[in-house]
Amino acid sequence: MGELKQHQPPMTIDEQVENLKSIGLIVEDEEYAKRILNDISYFRLIKAYSLNLKPKNGDYVDKVTFEQLVELYLFNANFRQIIYPEIEKIEINVRCRSANYFAEQYGVLGYLEADIHTLTSIYI
């Protein structure tokens, strides 16, 4: 088995803000940044929403602000709230159609037959 990855020691919220500033992120309102980092978390916000804004282990590209990262996060959260109900409708529809198909083809207890699942997985 290979070596375990060395993890970074934990940082306080103040240290997180200082770390972000040290790698080129513009933090216009430190108190706001501290509140956000305390509510959302460093890794959920920074790691996910910085992907195209800084190279791995590098500094942020010019003029990227903490507030812009938060705006991306909030946009994504709002987008999920809009799209998930639509995805749920599609999921329910597919499950319903699949259940109807299997019931018509193999009977109401057809799902208990292992052979049916092997054969039908070829066609799905």
Structure confidence by residue, pLDDT tens digits, 26-59:
999 999 999 999 999 888 898 888 877 887 777 8
- In the chain, domain spans: 13-123
And the tokens for 66? Answer: 């903490």
Q: Say if residues 46 and 20 touch (Cβ distance below 8 Å).
A: yes
For residue 28, the 8-state DSSP code is: S
Rounded average pLDDT over 64-71 = 93
What value does the mean pLDDT take over residues 67-86?
Answer: 94
Q: Which residues pair with 48 in a beta bridge?
A: none
Is there a contact between 45 and 36 (Cβ–Cβ < 8 Å)? yes
